[in-house]
Amino acid sequence: MRNTLGVLVSPNAEQWESAKRISREGWRALGEAGLLSLAHKGTDFLHSAIFLEELGGLGYGGIRASVAVHAYMAVSYLHLFGTEEQQRGYLPAAQQGRLIAALAITESTAGSDLRQLSTRAERTGGGYRVTGEKLYVANGSQADFIITLARTREMQGSRGLTGASLLVIDADSPGVSRSPEPMLGWHSADICRVRFTDVPVPTERLIGRRDQALLHLVHALDFERLVAGILAVGGVRHCLDLLKGFVREHHVKGAPLGTHQAVRHRIADLESSYDLIRHYGYRAAWLHARGQLDTYTASSLKLRATELAVAAAQTCLQFHGARGYAADAVAARLYRDAMAGPIAAGASELLRDLVYESA
Ligand SMILES: Cc1cc2nc3c(=O)[nH]c(=O)nc-3n(C[C@H](O)[C@H](O)[C@H](O)COP(=O)(O)OP(=O)(O)OC[C@H]3O[C@@H](n4cnc5c(N)ncnc54)[C@H](O)[C@@H]3O)c2cc1C
C-alpha cells in the first residue's frame, strides 16, 4: 500500500499543491488502484486504518484531507444512511474516482455549534429548495456531489438540530456556486465557499430520516474523528522522520544537532507520545471494526493526535532553524498543514468538552 501510494501520489504532490487540488487523473488512478474503495466497517476497516496512516505519512495535509473527505467522511453518510438507489447512483463512481465528493456542513456561525445552522431546505412539490452558504468545503471546486446539512423544519421554541436533515446535492444543479477560499495550509485540499441559491433538490436526495440529522451525525462525526486521528498519526511519523534525519546531518558547535541533550530529550518525548497515540489509534480502529467506537475514544484520539502533530511540526521547524522557516521549506509546510488539524473536523476545545462529558 505504501509503495502504491508512493508511486501514485508522491511524484504529483507538489503539482497538486500548486494547482490547489488533486488532478482528475490522480483521482482515477487512486480509484483504479482500489484505494478509494477500502472498507468503512467490519474487520476489513483495519485495511482502511493502515491506508489512512500511510496516507498521513506522505506528509501532505491537503492531499490526505482531500482523499479522506472524499473516500471516508462525505460518503460515509451514503454508506450508513443512504437508500439503495443513492448508493448505486454515487458510490461505485466515487470509488472509481470518476465522481468526487465534498461534505459541506460548516457555516459562518455554525462551526463548533451546529445548532446555529441557517441553511434552509424548503418543501416544494417534488422535493426541496435549498438556500444557504457553506464555508471551508474541501474538494469544493471539483466536487460532483455535495453532502450537506440544512433545516427542513422550523421548530418553534425548540433548540438544537431537531428539524435538520442531510441531503446529497449534485454540484451541477442550478443555483450552486463555488469560490476558492485560500488557506494557510492544506493547499491541495481545494477549500471553497459553496453557495446554494434556491437549489432544487428532489425528495430522493434526502439522506436518512427527515428532520432527524442529529441522530445520524452522532455516528458519522465519531467516524470522522477516527479518520482524522489516524491521518494525524501518520503525519506525526513523517514529521519525526524528517526531523531525525536533519538532526543527524546538521552540525552545531562541532557536533551533530542530535547529539545535544536538549534535542534528544525533545525528540524522545515526541517519539514516546507518537508510540502511545499510534497504539490508541489502532485500538480505536479495532473498536470501530467491532461496531463499538464511542465518542470518548474517537474524540480523545482526534484531540491528542492532531495536537501531537502540531507539537512535532513546531519542533521540526525549530530545529531546522531559519532554513525551516523559509516559505518553501518542507518543515514550514508541515507546520502550516499541522495547524489545521486541531480545528478541522472538530476544534480541540469542543473535543475536550466531549471527552469530559463522556469520560
Ligand atoms: C483546513 C480546513 C478544512 C475544513 N474542511 C471542511 C469541510 O470539508 N467541510 C466542512 O463542513 N467544514 C470544514 N472545515 C470547517 C471545520 O469543521 C470548522 O472549522 C470547525 O468545525 C470549527 O468551526 P469554526 O471554524 O467555525 O470555529 P468556531 O466554532 O467559530 O470556534 C472558534 C474557535 O473557538 C474555540 N472553541 C470552539 N468551541 C469551544 C468551546 N466549547 N469552548 C472553548 N472554546 C471553543 C476553538 O478554538 C475554535 O477553533 C474545515 C476547516 C479547516 C480549517
CATH number of the domain that 74 lies in? 1.10.540.10
Q: What is the pTM of this model?
A: 0.97
* Residue 224 host element (H or E): helix 213-249
* Residue 279 host element (H or E): helix 261-289
What is the whole-number distance in angstroms between the Cα of residue 356 and the centre of ligand 1?
19
Tell whether ligand 1 has an atom less than 6 A from the beta carbon of residue 106: yes
pLDDT digits (tens, 9 = 90+) for 98-114: 999 999 999 999 999 99
Is there a single domain that holds both residue 207 and residue 222? no
CA-CA distance, 165 to 148, in Å (whole number)? 8
Is there a single domain that holds both residue 139 and residue 199? yes
Is there a single domain that holds both residue 219 and residue 354? yes
Cell, residue 229: 486521528
CA-CA distance, 214 to 149, in Å (whole number)? 10
Tell me the torsion sign for CA atoms 44, 345, 325, 275: negative
Q: What percent of the chain is modeled with pLDDT above 70?
A: 99
Is there a single domain that holds both residue 265 and residue 338? yes
pLDDT computed for residue 154 by the predictor? 80
Could you say which of 95, 118, 143 is where a domain stops?
95
Nearest CA to ligand 1 atom 51: 344
Nearest CA to ligand 1 atom 27: 111
**What is residue 212's DSSP assignment?**
B
Is there a single domain that holds both residue 316 and residue 237? yes
Of the listed ranges 55-69, 137-151, 156-170, 328-342, the least confidently predicted one is 156-170
pLDDT computed for residue 150 by the predictor? 97
What is the whole-number distance in angstroms between the Cα of residue 160 and the centre of ligand 1?
18
Tell whether ligand 1 has an atom less than 6 A from the beta carbon of residue 344: yes
pLDDT computed for residue 161 by the predictor? 81
Is there a single domain that holds both residue 252 and residue 157? no
Q: What's the structural domain count of the chain?
A: 3
Query: What would the mean pLDDT of 29-48 be, rounded to a whole number?
Result: 97
Q: How far is CA 201 from the centre of its chain?
A: 26
Tell whether ligand 1 has an atom less than 6 A from the beta carbon of residue 347: yes
pLDDT computed for residue 217 by the predictor? 94
Query: What would the mean pLDDT of 15-26 be, rounded to a whole number?
Result: 98
Inter-axis angle of helices 261-289 and 45-57, to 10 degrees? 150
Ligand 1 atom at minimal distance to the Cα of residue 139? 8
Is there a single domain that holds both residue 178 and residue 72? no
Is there a single domain that holds both residue 200 and residue 223? no
pLDDT digits (tens, 9 = 90+) for 162-183: 899 999 999 999 999 999 999 9
- Give 80's Cβ-side CA count (13 Å radius): 24
pLDDT computed for residue 246 by the predictor? 98
Nearest CA to ligand 1 atom 44: 349
- φ and ψ at residue 212, rounded to 5 degrees: -120, 30
Could you say which of 154, 180, 211 is where a domain stops?
211
Q: For a substitution probing ligand 1, which of 69, 105, 112 has the most ligand atoms within 8 Å of its CB?
A: 112
pLDDT digits (tens, 9 = 90+) for 52-86: 999 999 999 999 999 999 999 999 999 999 999 99
Could you say which of 73, 95, 117 is where a domain stops?
95
Domain of residue 139, CATH code: 2.40.110.10
Tell whether ligand 1 has an atom less than 6 A from the beta carbon of residue 108: no
Query: What would the mean pLDDT of 202-219 be, rounded to a whole number?
Result: 95
Q: For a substitution probing ligand 1, which of 350, 351, 355, 356 has the most ligand atoms within 8 Å of its CB?
A: 350
Tell whether ligand 1 has an atom less than 6 A from the beta carbon of residue 221: no
pLDDT computed for residue 157 by the predictor? 59
First to last CA, the chain: 36
What is the whole-number distance in angstroms between the Cα of residue 235 and the centre of ligand 1?
20
pLDDT band at 300 (very low <50, low <70, confident <90, very high): very high
Tell whether ligand 1 has an atom less than 6 A from the beta carbon of residue 75: no
CA-CA distance, 29 to 242, in Å (whole number)? 27
Is there a single domain that holds both residue 235 and residue 344? yes
Tell whether ligand 1 has an atom less than 6 A from the beta carbon of residue 111: yes
Domain of residue 234, CATH code: 1.20.140.10
Is there a single domain that holds both residue 17 and residue 91? yes
Range of the structural domain that residue 197 is part of:
101-211
What is the whole-number distance in angstroms between the Cα of residue 183 and the centre of ligand 1?
13
pLDDT band at 156 (very low <50, low <70, confident <90, very high): low
Tell whether ligand 1 has an atom less than 6 A from the beta carbon of residue 343: yes
Query: Does residue 307 or residue 126 have the better pLDDT?
Result: 307
CA-CA distance, 231 to 57, in Å (whole number)? 8
